[in-house]
Structure 1
Amino acid sequence: MSSDRRRESRMKSDVVRLFQTLPHDCGYFSGRIAQNLVIDPSAPHLDAVYGLALSRGFRRAGGHVYHPHCSGCRACVPCRVVVDAFTPDRSQRRCRARNADLELRLQPARYSEEYFELYQRYLGGRHKGGGMDSPQQEDFSRFLYTEWSPTRFLEIRRNGRLLAVAVIDICAQGLSAVYTFYDPAETARGLGTFAVLSQLDWAAREGLPHVYLGYWIDGHPKMDYKRRFQPLEVLLQGNWVAFAGA
């Protein structure tokens, strides 16, 4: 193949189509309407595109790589933690100490009855009435991973009993904290915080620069916690900048 044809082939392979979803109810604010931009899910080599998309503020849910694109609302702000500069605060150090008795194991992303039972209890206990609290088996796989995604499950156990699972995507740009579900009877442990701390530890060991936490939403009770992981960067007008919030 000539150099011109190779260049043309590379250019074509770098082009991906974006689709805009139809308006739908916002999952974060009652009464608001949301829309997303979605990378063509049938695009070839979506796995190769994903890392770059992550660094540009996109997020994965199942086989879809998306970015909020809502008319008149910019509440969802992409955020990531700078791994080599992260220092846990006093509350996070206490969380680590409180969970020092737990065992962590990295596993391939897959369905199991044990995972699904914990997932059901988590949604029923933490998101009751939110539309996800009666999942089917296919919902588990469809939402958490897909064939092309670079996903691993981080199991968190105590004496063999499964307490939590952190769903993590691994890219050259860093780790993406996709989702965490845990035993709702163990809320005193702060397992959500512990899962993020464990991912920061893992990223540091692997020399990865960032842990992507999805979208920060100012003042939202389920999303505002991300500001506690410092130094945090947010994506504003196409540039990653230091988080300026309190």
Structure 2
Amino acid sequence: MSAPFRFPRFFVTSPAPCPYIEGKTERKVFTELSGNNANELNDALGRIGFRRSQSVAYRPSCADCSACVSVRVCAGAFRPSNSQKRTIRRNRDLVASACKPWATEEQYTLLRAYLGSRHPNGGMADMDEQDFADMVEQTPVDSYMIEYREPTTDGGRGRLVGCCLTDRQGDGLSMIYSFFDSHHPLREGLGTYIIADHIQRAAHAGLPYVYLGYWIEGSTRMAYKARFRPLERLGPDGWAPFDPAASDKIAALLELA
């Protein structure tokens, strides 16, 4: 019989410069995930907008900003756009494998190239090989690394072109962090394909959602998440359908009124 569930203790970080919106400060509330109930706690917190980083679950708790919005895709109802269909066709020959959360040198090399190309000044730019191993391997919940490799004719392991560290929660897949070959001459849209593949995986497993983390109003780096429909956002009254484009139109009309 498992030990009784204990209500977690929560802590708040000190304010720090926001990495997404210039001039803003960020603050997070967080708790530790540990023990036999880590999966159960991670599931419960995921439903109310928390994200996992190693053995910590966190969510924004900023005093003067609410731009970070938790979003999730309804996997069973997802219908790719024409552009997404082309991306899926272009990359559907990739061989995807769900691996145990164990960091490899090959994964780290791909990550370094991705960060140098997409986020050279980001918070992970100085991540070394041990930091990467900690990110992947220090997980107290049901996690795996999904690798995307190019096909081969000899049955061997093809070239690694994409990865995603993923948690399986009770109601969906949570994409913790993905990275890929952003300069591949023949595989445009790898990031889109990885998300689409997760949506398909969730639907096939009977899981209703794919959690994409935070959509951040005013951040071009997070705008891609709004392209996956139908999308839900977490608000004061719980999860509800979300159309960022419609929200922008409403805001514009209010400004004119």
TM-score (norm 1): 0.90
Structure 1 unaligned spans of 5+: 1-5
Q: Deviations over 1:91-110 (max 9, x none)?
A: 11011011122111111111
Q: 1:48 to 1:128 in 2, by over 3 A?
A: same
1:47 CA drift (Å): 2.5
Give the structure 2 partner of residue 222 of structure 1. 221
CA distance in 2, matches of 1:40, 1:104: 31
Q: Does 1:78 align with 2:70?
A: yes
Residues 40, 167 of structure 1: alpha-carbon distance in 2 compared, 3 angstrom cutoff = closer
1:116 aligns with 2:108: yes
**Residue 55 of structure 1 is aligned with which of 47, 52, 59?**
47
AA in 1 matched with 2:222: M
SS at 1:39 equivalent: strand
Q: Report the CA distance shift for 1:145/1:220 in structure 2 as closer, same or farther (over 3 A).
A: farther
User: What corresponds to 1:3 in structure 2?
Assistant: none
In 1, the alpha carbon distance for the partners of 2:131 and 2:183 equals: 23
Asked whether the 8 Å contact 1:154–1:165 carries over to 2, the reply is: yes
What is the DSSP-based 3-state SS (H/G/I as helix, E as strand, rest coil) of the residue aligned with 1:215? strand
Range 145-154 or range 204-213, more displaced:
145-154
Q: Which residue of 2 aligns with 1:177?
A: 175
The 3 A distance-change label for structure 1 pair 72 and 43 is: farther
Write the deviation string for residues 44-80 of structure 1: whole angstroms up to 9, x where unpaired.
6222200111011100112210010001100000000
Q: CA deviation at 1:245?
A: 2.2
Matched, 1:167 2:159: no
* Greater Cα offset, 22-31 or 38-47: 38-47
Task: Describe the superposition over 1:9-46 as per-residue Cα deviations: whole angstroms up to 9, x where unpaired.
Answer: 84xx2411111111112121222211001013557622
Q: TM-score, normalising length from structure 2?
A: 0.87
Deviations, residues 172-207 of structure 1 (Å, cap 9, x unaligned):
121001111111322752111100000011001100
Query: In structure 2, what is the Cα distance between the partners aligned to 1:179 and 1:46?
Result: 19
- Sequence identity (%): 36
Show the counterpart of 1:190. 189
Local SS of the residue matching 1:189: coil
Aligned residues: 238
1:166 deviation in Å? Answer: 1.2
Distance in 1 (CA, whole Å) between partners of 2:179 and 2:36 is: 31
Q: What root-mean-square deviation, in Å, do the aligned CA atoms of Structure 1 and Structure 2 show? A: 2.0
Counterpart residue identity of residue 16, structure 2: H
Give the alignment of 1:1-246 within 5 angstroms.
10=4, 13-41=5-33, 45-159=37-151, 160-186=158-184, 189-246=188-245
